DNA sequence: TGAGCGTACGCCCCG
DNA sequence: CGTACGCTCA
């Protein structure tokens, strides 16, 4: 028998063994929280003989869910693909996909993202003659969404905005319902509605989920709290893990108070404290403690570790933002020469837009990297266009996709025609495709023919879905719709086409895996998967430096961490400094960043940087100053800080030249050509399929298959 | 009525 | 720096 407990301390064991009744585990950063969660699941299945279908584990990110599945699989060697280990949103989608008809929606509902919501809100505002310069769609959208998890907030809004928001909210919900669409908030609220109004179903889930685990409980919002409450059965076997110091999602409604609320709602709770840190050196922990101590509303808690003091923290201040980036890149190269691998590094920033600067320099120096978040693959225009085709093929009455598809590529049908058609449909309560047959009532003959052609094209695609493989199906759509042709006039057409090819690969791969599903169900499932996981790219496996926001770094750890743009206004963000609440959340974000570090921490910033075209000089972030000086080694070029820009300019050049030299010495370019064979350190021998400026597509034997890689990645060598 | 082109504006964090 | 709107022309 395997010993589940061999690596756990007493408190961790307690958290695993106390399986019955409500349990709260307060888990400091790096205290082995994931181990506790996975061991607990393993223990329930392996020792208590609980069937895996009776366990529900909820996480906040897909990454955390995948990690947990992986570790459960490692521990007890069972197939975790059928287990309910998922994010709140995936869990809800799974429940709704089965039962949403009870609420009047159709089973093939589609999930829309925030960009889509913004577009919808905008069109509603326009239709009701509101000036979108005054009522900015983005702001109205945010309010509309916020109201969905706390309706009382409406009373805090002044007129006339209040009325506008009320009207838009109502029309927006009607619109979603009519088009069989669900936004991220609705995934939660509709599930609640379902469970509240369908008692047999609620009973079913209460009995099914005998053991519930919720990770990152400090980040739950009111709606999520309510949902958990509804799911918990009579035995109240609910296990929550949280750390108020790591609460960083207030902007989407997270309520730290939920931990206290839990204590009131489940008064016989059992409390476990996990304070021993297994991740960081004491220098890192001291710094983290010194920072977080400045927050007012918190229960004091001190982490400790047995990993020694380790190295000092480095603060580098560049003259320009470019210096800062160069420093980070050179440091990475230096440490790689000393034995670190690219996977050991993370560059953490406050705003996604920061990644661009780093990308440029890393690309130039041929340092492999991977970006999380940002304009993720699935949010690219061509991918959204194409998924709109797929959605429309599945649901001909999806107005939102209809609009997107009929105007991409241009086919001589514009906003006014669409408007008339939609009005005709709405006034006579018709489906869009039926309205097209009667379009002659409101539209001219040539436009009617164009609409008919369009409709027939989509219907033809539906037929082809069942007849063709996904590979051929995608090609068929791209060709017949004229989409590929329209890319010829697009400057970025090549890249867009490549992305579409990659999308095709993703579909095909899944076609292999889920052979028993019908094509349509598979497509629905995949589209759902895509919208729920839009932050992930397929390229996870590549060895490279990780670029990500501080938010997405939560739950992860790296040997070497760079926290960058540490300036007043950048981090903490300018807006946050007006309210104590927001400001303290920024500090928690800093705390999260620092505690990701295992060995080396670098804090960097610059004296001068360009933001929005303006040159700005920001002070050092107050978070740097909150760390005791003796923990920090100040590096770089701070002696130039108070001199005029011109005088210091030579220095940037010097750094640049050194950088160039280093990159030339250390990294040869891979001169790849189509048809050649190469060897990749991880994937083995592969065949080069195509090469563009920076990337290449290479076919490897199974299980790796076709990969898109950086052309000059050091892992690739020519045979 | 639709499409192409020049200009203006905005630019945080997640599922 | 990139997207999105508004104007003009076909």
Which alpha helices (H) appear in A346-444, and where do they start and end? 355-364, 381-394, 399-406, 415-427, 432-437
A314 CA to B4 C1' distance (Å): 53
**Residue with nearest Cα to nucleotide C4 C1':** A119
Which alpha helices (H) appear in A77-181, and where do they start and end? 88-99, 114-127, 137-147, 161-178
A260 CA to C2 C1' distance (Å): 45
Which alpha helices (H) appear in A546-595, and where do they start and end? 550-553, 580-594
Cα A28 from Cα A32, distance rounded (Å): 9
Q: Is A33 a catalytic residue?
A: yes
A478 CA to C10 C1' distance (Å): 28
pLDDT at A603 (0 to 100): 95
Q: Which nucleotide comes closest to A132 if you measure CA to C1'?
A: C5
A520 CA to B3 C1' distance (Å): 35
The angle that helices A445-467 and A470-480 make with each other, rounded to 10 degrees, is 170
Q: Residue A141, CB, less than 7 Å from strand C?
A: no
pLDDT at A715 (0 to 100): 63
Report, in ranges, which bases of strand B sit under 7 Å from a protein C-beta. 1-4, 10-15
Interface residues 627-646 of A with strand C (CB < 7 Å)? none
Cα A147 from Cα A73, distance rounded (Å): 40
Match 């926290």 to its residue by tokens: A563
Single out the residue of A346, A415, A397, A384 nearest to residue A599, CA to CA: A346
A134 CA to B10 C1' distance (Å): 14
Low-confidence stretches of chain A (pLDDT beneath 70): 1-2, 373-376, 534-542, 613, 636-670, 680-683, 690-696, 701-715
Please identify which of the residues A286, A350, A596, A707 carries the catalytic annotation: A596
pLDDT at A349 (0 to 100): 94
Residue A570, strand partner residues: A573
A234 CA to C8 C1' distance (Å): 69
Please identify which of the residues A34, A236, A290, A312 carries the catalytic annotation: A34
A353 CA to B9 C1' distance (Å): 17
Q: Do A112 and A141 form a contact (C-beta atoms < 8 A)?
A: no
Q: Is A74 a catalytic residue?
A: no
pLDDT at A99 (0 to 100): 95
Q: Is A246 a catalytic residue?
A: yes
Q: Residue A613, CB, less than 7 Å from strand C?
A: yes
Q: Which nucleotide comes closest to A93 if you measure CA to C1'?
A: B15
Q: Is A584 a catalytic residue?
A: no
Cα A364 from Cα A142, distance rounded (Å): 38
Please identify which of the residues A14, A116, A183, A216 carries the catalytic annotation: A216
pLDDT at A708 (0 to 100): 63
The H-or-E segment that residue A482 falls in is none
Q: Which nucleotide comes closest to A613 if you measure CA to C1'?
A: C1
Cα A476 from Cα A468, distance rounded (Å): 9
Cα A474 from Cα A391, distance rounded (Å): 13
Q: Which nucleotide comes closest to A492 if you measure CA to C1'?
A: C2
Q: What are phi and psi of A679, to 5 degrees?
A: -120, 130
Cα A21 from Cα A15, distance rounded (Å): 12
Q: Which nucleotide comes closest to A62 if you measure CA to C1'?
A: B15
Interface residues 78-97 of A with strand C (CB < 7 Å)? none
Which residues make up the interface with nucleic strand B when CB must lie under 7 A?
A 60-63, 87-90, 113-114, 133, 136, 138, 184-185, 249, 251-252, 350-353, 373, 407, 410-417, 447, 532, 534-535, 549, 551-552, 573, 575, 612-613
Q: Residue A122, CB, less than 7 Å from strand C?
A: yes
Q: Do A278 and A30 form a contact (C-beta atoms < 8 A)?
A: yes
Which alpha helices (H) appear in A18-113, and where do they start and end? 33-46, 62-76, 88-99
pLDDT at A89 (0 to 100): 93
pLDDT at A376 (0 to 100): 62
A235 CA to B13 C1' distance (Å): 37
The H-or-E segment that residue A486 falls in is helix A483-487
A613 CA to C2 C1' distance (Å): 13
Cα A280 from Cα A287, distance rounded (Å): 11
Q: Which nucleotide comes closest to A356 if you measure CA to C1'?
A: C1
Beta strands (DSSP E) in A589-694 are: 597-611, 614-616, 632-636, 677-680, 684-691
Cα A600 from Cα A332, distance rounded (Å): 11
pLDDT at A124 (0 to 100): 87
Q: Which nucleotide comes closest to A149 if you measure CA to C1'?
A: B15
Please identify which of the residues A12, A14, A33, A219 carries the catalytic annotation: A33
Q: Which nucleotide comes closest to A552 if you measure CA to C1'?
A: B14
pLDDT at A661 (0 to 100): 29
Please identify which of the residues A215, A344, A398, A502 carries the catalytic annotation: A215
Q: Which nucleotide comes closest to A251 if you measure CA to C1'?
A: B13
Report, in ranges, which bases of strand C sit under 7 Å from a protein C-beta. 1, 3, 5
Please identify which of the residues A87, A110, A246, A314 carries the catalytic annotation: A246
A610 CA to B9 C1' distance (Å): 18
A116 CA to B10 C1' distance (Å): 19
Cα A288 from Cα A592, distance rounded (Å): 8
Q: Is A34 a catalytic residue?
A: yes
């Amino acid at each position: 028998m395997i010993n589940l407990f061999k690596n756990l301390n007493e408190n961790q064991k307690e958290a695993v063994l106390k399986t019955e009744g409500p349990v709260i585990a307060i888990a400091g950063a790096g205290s082995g929280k994931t181990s506790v969660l996975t061991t607990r699941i393993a223990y329930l299945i392996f020792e208590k003989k609980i069937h895996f279908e009776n366990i529900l584990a909820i996480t906040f990110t897909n990454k955390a869910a995948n990690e947990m599945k992986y570790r459960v699989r490692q521990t007890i060697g069972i197939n975790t693909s059928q287990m309910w280990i998922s994010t709140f949103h995936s869990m809800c989608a799974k429940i709704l996909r089965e039962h949403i008809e009870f609420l009047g929606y159709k089973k093939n509902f589609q999930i829309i993202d925030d960009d889509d919501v913004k577009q919808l809100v905008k069109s509603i505002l326009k239709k009701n003659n509101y000036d979108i310069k005054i009522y900015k769609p983005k702001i109205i959208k945010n309010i509309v969404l916020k109201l969905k998890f706390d309706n009382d907030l409406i009373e805090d809004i002044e007129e006339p905005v209040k009325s506008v928001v009320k009207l838009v909210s109502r029309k927006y919900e009607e619109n979603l319902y009519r088009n069989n669409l669900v936004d991220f908030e609705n995934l939660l609220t509709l599930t609640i509605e379902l469970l509240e109004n369908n008692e047999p179903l609620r009973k079913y889930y209460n009995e099914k989920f005998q053991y519930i685990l919720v990770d990152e409980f400090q980040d739950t919002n009111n709606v999520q709290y309510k949902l958990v409450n509804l799911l918990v059965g009579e035995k109240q076997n609910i296990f929550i893990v949280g750390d108020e110091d790591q609460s960083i999602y207030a902007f989407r409604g997270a309520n730290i108070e939920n931990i206290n609320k839990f204590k009131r709602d489940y008064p016989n709770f059992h409390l476990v404290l996990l304070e021993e840190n297994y991740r960081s050196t004491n220098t890192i922990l001291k710094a983290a403690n010194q920072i977080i101590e400045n927050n007012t509303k918190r229960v004091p808690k001190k982490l400790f570790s047995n990993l020694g003091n380790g190295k000092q923290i480095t603060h580098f201040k560049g003259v320009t933002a470019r210096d800062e980036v160069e420093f980070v890149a050179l440091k990475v190269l230096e440490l790689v020469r000393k034995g670190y691998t690219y996977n050991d590094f993370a560059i953490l920033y406050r705003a996604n837009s920061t990644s661009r600067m780093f990308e440029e320099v890393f690309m130039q120096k041929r340092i492999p990297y991977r970006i999380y978040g940002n304009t993720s693959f699935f949010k690219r225009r061509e991918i959204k266009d194409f998924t709109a085709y797929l959605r429309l093929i599945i649901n001909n009455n999806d107005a939102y996709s209809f609009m997107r598809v009929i105007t991409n590529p241009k086919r001589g049908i514009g906003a006014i025609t669409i408007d008339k058609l939609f009005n005709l449909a709405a006034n006579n309560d018709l489906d869009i495709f039926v309205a097209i047959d009667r379009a002659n009532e409101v539209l001219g003959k040539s436009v009617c023919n164009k609409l008919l052609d369009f409709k027939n094209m989509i219907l033809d695609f539906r037929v082809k879905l069942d007849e063709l493989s996904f590979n051929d199906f995608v090609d068929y759509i791209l060709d017949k719709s004229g989409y590929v042709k329209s890319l010829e006039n697009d400057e970025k057409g090549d890249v867009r086409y490549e992305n579409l090819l990659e999308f095709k690969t993703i579909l095909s791969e899944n076609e292999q895996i889920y052979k028993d599903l019908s094509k349509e169900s598979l497509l629905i499932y995949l589209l759902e998967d895509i919208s729920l996981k839009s932050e992930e790219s397929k390229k996870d496996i590549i060895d490279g430096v990780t670029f990500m926001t501080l938010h997405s770094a939560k739950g992860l750890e790296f040997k070497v961490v760079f926290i960058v743009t540490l300036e007043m206004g950048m981090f903490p963000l300018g807006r946050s400094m007006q309210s104590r609440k927001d400001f303290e959340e920024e500090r928690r974000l800093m705390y999260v960043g620092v505690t990701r570090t295992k060995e080396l921490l670098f804090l960097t910033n610059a004296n001068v940087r360009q933001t929005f075209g303006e040159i700005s000089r920001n002070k050092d972030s107050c978070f740097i100053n909150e760390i005791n000086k003796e923990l920090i080694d100040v590096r770089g070029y701070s002696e130039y800080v108070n001199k005029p820009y011109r005088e210091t300019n030579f220095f940037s050049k010097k750094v640049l030249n050194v950088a160039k030299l280093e990159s030339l010495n250390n990294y040869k370019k891979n001169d790849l050509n189509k048809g050649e064979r190469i060897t990749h350190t991880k994937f083995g021998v592969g065949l080069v399929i195509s090469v563009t400026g920076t990337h290449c597509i290479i076919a490897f034997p199974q299980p790796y298959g076709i990969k898109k890689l950086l052309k000059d990645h050091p892992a690739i060598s020519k045979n």
